[in-house]
Structure 1
């Protein structure tokens, strides 16, 4: 076994591994390849793989969190090991490698994510569970009916909109998003990289609800084949309470299904009652849970 920096040609193996460990996550080969080959500047992003006999059996990413005003906060994400290769120290080696990568950046606080059965592993390494994330799935056969927007509301595919308007709506809606740290420092460049330029973004299915020329709510569809991820559904505070987030998400699901998507996945913080209620009304079913876990880097 060896730990090394991930290479773009690792993408197929990484996606195959993710399908085994996290079948409810959606990110295709080309999107993963680009993420490895062209990481966004300024975050110190890096990915590492564990390799046994030329097979990728483990993966982890590490970066400075550039979307929060909380100083010196770093994320270690998607640490996972193939079930057949666990209990061999691979997970520990990946975690140490990711931590060593972040330490020289002045990171003082770390966040990782763990499935419930991995919480003992996290605690032994100084991580304490913080917040529960709920993962849900929705079969799109049949798809939700395409709703009629109320008077004054126009449903538009993201492909028809100025991305800067979507970014501004994202920033406005994220200020009270539940989480370990506030999402209050996201730059336009970061948003473009994470959302608009993501190779999996379906700009035709992704839908915004527009009121008087302003983006009031929108729902993002990231796709891989016949599977999709509802990456983000948001509603600008001034327009909340009018059902526009549910309207946009329903329309996005309908459009995705009409273009061949058969199952949709999403995740929500357990404290995000409004989105959990929307998902329940749409028929999402729980499929998994994870915990964010926090540790001090000394």
Structure 2
């Protein structure tokens, strides 16, 4: 059987569905839908030069790669490639072909440092190391059983704090953009990034097909959003936290717990049964918050880096 690599065909629904299926099998703790896959290709900033690749065997998509430049970083030449193969279609050469095609493309686009998330399993780490990637920081995926588990009881907001949803900002989401930009800049990461411009944020984040604005919860003080948790849902029973953050001047007041607890309670009331999130292993504060909710680690990944040239 021969494996070949080509670009994903975003106008071919079957192709996109196979891409999403492979990603779901490889990373079941992340939401992958056909609409989200197409959205990533269509609405990521042009400067990122993104591509989605597929490895195909006998007409079946068995491997995937999402690649691009980290265009928001003040350090030029940084790029990412994240490669995942269907767990029942390994050892066919798909991963190696995808990595080679991705590296050639990114190098031609001026990339000099490549970052890749790799599941923290011996076979995956060995695959990356054989190709010259060295291990760096790590992160956990966490799962919460909303159907059978328990949540901390709801607490009323402190005086002066009001709870709203992202839907309340439909007419003007710019205040949420400002909060998202501030908190994202403080996330632990190998790659320093400057906040995206507002129009790019609208296209990539605010209009993302998985963003659930009714479940995305915001804490407001004196009319200003100061903490939020972004909720993604797949139209079924799963809920994923896209981001939870608090403005620097309001940290240490329990606002992250407040907004996330309110969102999780409403998610359970809406019939969602599983909640997932992810945290850098160095983000002790957020790991403690998620432990308080009852989240448990279900998988881990390690970011690997390779310098070209």
User: Where does residue 133 of structure 1 map in the other structure?
Assistant: 139
**Aligned length in residues:** 297
SS at match of 2:46: coil
Match of 1:252 among 263, 266, 291: 263
> After superposition, where does 1:21-170 map in structure 2 within 5 Å?
21-77=26-82, 79-117=83-121, 118-141=124-147, 144=151, 145-161=153-169, 162-170=172-180
Distance 1:265 1:167, change over 3 A: same
User: Where does residue 204 of structure 1 map in the other structure?
Assistant: 214
Compute the displacement of 1:19 (Å): 2.1
Calculate the TM-score normalised by the size of structure 1. 0.95
Q: CA RMSD in A?
A: 1.5
Which consecutive residues of structure 1, in runs of 5 or more, have no partner in the other structure?
none
SS at match of 1:85: coil
Question: CA contact under 8 A between 2:55 and 2:61: conserved in structure 1?
Answer: yes
Question: CA contact under 8 A between 2:65 and 2:81: conserved in structure 1?
Answer: yes
Compute the displacement of 1:143 (Å): 6.0
Match of 2:232 among 222, 231, 255: 222
User: Once the two structures are superposed, what CA deviation does each residue of 1:147-192 show, in whole Å capped at 9, x if it has no partner?
Assistant: 3111111110101123211111112223322110223242223322
Match of 1:193 among 192, 203, 206: 203
User: Once the two structures are superposed, what CA deviation does each residue of 1:180-223 show, in whole Å capped at 9, x if it has no partner?
Assistant: 02232422233223320100100000000000111110000111
Question: CA contact under 8 A between 2:229 and 2:256: conserved in structure 1?
Answer: yes
User: Once the two structures are superposed, what CA deviation does each residue of 1:254-280 show, in whole Å capped at 9, x if it has no partner?
Assistant: 222222211111111001111101000
Q: Name whichever of 110-119 and 167-176 sits farther off.
A: 167-176
C-alpha distance in structure 1 between counterparts of 2:26 and 2:223, whole Å: 43
Which consecutive residues of structure 2, in runs of 5 or more, have no partner in the other structure?
none
Match of 1:2 among 4, 12, 16: 4
User: Where does residue 248 of structure 2 map in the other structure?
Assistant: 237
Calculate the TM-score normalised by the size of structure 2. 0.92
Compute the displacement of 1:68 (Å): 2.3
